[in-house]
Amino acid sequence: MSHLDPDDTTPLLRDDANSDDSQDGDYRSRWRSIRVMYFTMFLSSVGFTIVITSLWPYLQKVDSSADASFLGWMVAAYSLGQMVASPLFGLWSNHRLCREPLVCSIFINLAANIYYAYAYLPKTNNKYHMLMSRAFVGFGAGNVAVVRSYVAGATSLKERTGAMANMSACQALGFILGPALQACLSFIGENGVTVKFLDLQLNMYTTPALLAALFGLVNILLVLLVLKEHRVNEDGKNIRSINYTSEDTVDILDESVETIDQVAVVTSNVLFFIVMFIFAVFETIATPLSMDMFAWTRKEAVLYNGIIMVGIGFQSILVFFLVKAAASRFGDRPVLLAGFGIIFCGFIVLLPWGNHFPKIQWADLKNNSLVSQVSGGSLVGNGTVEPTGCPYEQTWCQTTPAIYLAQYISSDFLIGVGYPACNVMSYTLYSKILGPKPQGVYMGWLTASGSGARTLGPVFVSHVYTLLGPRWAFSLICGMVVLGVILLLSSYHRLIAYSVRHGRIVE
């Protein structure tokens, strides 16, 4: 029976009318369920990015003792929570209906976003409340492992690349909508309005988190009402809808008695770690870097970086569809290698050069306190002056040339091409390496490796950037990209599909 790949031949959200079994109930139910997973991935990325550009100014507003290094821990907290949760949710999904860990994780995410919106309320230690809320948001986002495992198990080998690319496109849509919503909501302002009976301030910082919580509620309803359990083998033949009886489990396991290439598994995890580390550095440093180099105010940084992230998101969607075509013609591994090369160029472009230096936030010692000079700032809502430019505490500001806006935009463009290509190819290859066995735990480890990167990346860049400046920070990232390329080339022959390795099909 011939079977066309719906995700290679039709738009993202339409059934394949040309397929022989497109009218079959199980087929339609399978793809509806896969699209629920697409939507879950979309909302997961919205929940992360909807506050990312305002994280730094919100942190400064609620707790003046927070510095750029603490921002690194703030961003890392999300990923640390996800790293802990991913293997747990993955293991849960291997032995129970996947809707159970999905609903649990989304509810945790929803509650954590409400906690974030109230982080200003305590009288002390507000920055630690923000830190905890982001950790719980990340814990809820551990369901990404369940999503990837489900899509891998519900698609044939031929469908896999297209489905993974579509899932990444939905993730990119979330990256677009999140910053776009934050940019729109920035017009509410820092003061906003107060809902007295809830003791809630609705402003440009809290409203996005509450909106993310509302999206979470919609997601829970979709999982409960639409999602069904489906699994197919690598040829696309249906395995019975899984009720997790012992008989069904035996049927699935009997199809795959050969071993998985553990070297390829470890290599894939390391490569994914590098990819996510690089992007974590990029997204963490964007707001502080732009405020330092271009003397943007907090509100300007939120608005302009939100617009830039929207542009990168649209660009990423185009890249995902190009990746599907390129992978079908050249293969997954060459596309991954090309993505690393483009990322390398993106960080090379970002290295400072020339004789133009950033504007400095000079300060004088007066009455035993440091008072920012009016000439270095702009008026904020309460009539005081908000200092702009590179903080004088960062001594490298006086010796390191400023990064030009054209450099910043060019780097955004290149990284916006290379990162999505590496991202989708990394876990597409990984799912093919694993083969037909339930992939929940393995996908949990992949997500954990990415979360580990997103934990270490922000901490690394915030400290290196604060102490040594962009030249050192971005040079070290370039070195990491080179190491990734070397690892990919050295294990190139092992990064092949399970069925190809065992001679079931010819690559």
| The pLDDT of residue 19 | 43
Tokens representing 64?
A: 């003046």
pLDDT of residue 367: 40
Mean pLDDT value of segment 240-268: 59
Mean pLDDT within 221-227: 90
Structural domain includes residue 210: yes
Domain count, the chain: 1
Examine the pLDDT at 84 and tell me if it is beyond 90: no
Beta-carbon contacts of 262 under 8 Å, excluding residues fewer than 6 positions away, are none
Of residues 490 and 503, the one with the higher pLDDT is 490
pLDDT in tens, 299-351: 788 788 878 877 887 888 888 888 888 888 888 889 999 999 999 999 999 88
Residue 21 banded pLDDT, cuts 50, 70, 90: very low
33 within a domain of the structure (yes/no)? yes
Q: 103 with 479: CB under 8 angstroms? A: no
- Say if 237 falls within a structural domain: yes
392 in any annotated domain: no
pLDDT: is 451 or 253 the higher one? 451
The overall average pLDDT reported for the chain is: 78
Q: In which band, very low, low, confident or very high, does the pLDDT at 234 lie, cut at 50, 70 and 90?
A: low
Percent above pLDDT 90 for the chain? 16
pLDDT at 235: 60
Is residue 134 in a domain? Answer: yes
Q: What is the mean pLDDT of residues 250-268?
A: 67
Q: Is 381 a domain residue?
A: no
Model confidence at 504, pLDDT cuts 50, 70, 90, reads low
What the block records as the tokens of 268 is 């894939």
- pLDDT digits over 347-369, tens only? 999 888 878 788 877 643 344 44
Q: What would you report as the CA-atom Rg of the chain, rounded to the nearest whole angstrom?
A: 23
Any domain includes 409: yes
CATH number of the domain enclosing 134 = 1.20.1250.20
Q: Is the pLDDT of residue 190 over 90?
A: no
- Predicted pLDDT of residue 142: 84
Note the pLDDT of residue 144: 84
Residue 162 pLDDT more than 50? yes
Strand 360-361 relative to strand 390-391, pairing: parallel
Q: Can you give the pTM of this predicted structure?
A: 0.68
- Report which of 105, 179, 205, 178 is spatially closest to residue 147, judged by C-alpha positions: 105
The reply to whether 91 falls in a domain is: yes
Q: Which residue has the higher pLDDT, 68 or 424?
A: 424
Of the two residues 254 and 292, the one the predictor is more confident about is 292
Rounded to whole angstroms, the Cα distance separating 284 from 462 reads 8
Average pLDDT over residues 382-401: 75
Mean pLDDT value across residues 441-462 = 79
Q: How confident is the model at residue 155 (pLDDT cuts 50, 70, 90)?
A: confident
| Alpha helix segments (H runs only) across 295-404 | 298-330, 332-349
pLDDT at 258: 63
- If pLDDT is split at 50, 70 and 90, which confidence band does 489 have? very high
**Per mean pLDDT, which range of 9-18, 189-198, 213-222, 310-319 is the poorest?**
9-18
Give the lowest-confidence range in 106-120, 140-154, 335-349.
140-154
Query: With 70 as the cut, is the pLDDT of residue 376 above it?
Result: no
The mean per-residue pLDDT over the stretch 213-242 comes to 78
Give the structural domain span for 100: 15-358+400-501
DSSP 278-325: HHHHHHHHHHHHHHHHH---HHHHHHHHHHHHHHHHHHHHHHHHHHHH
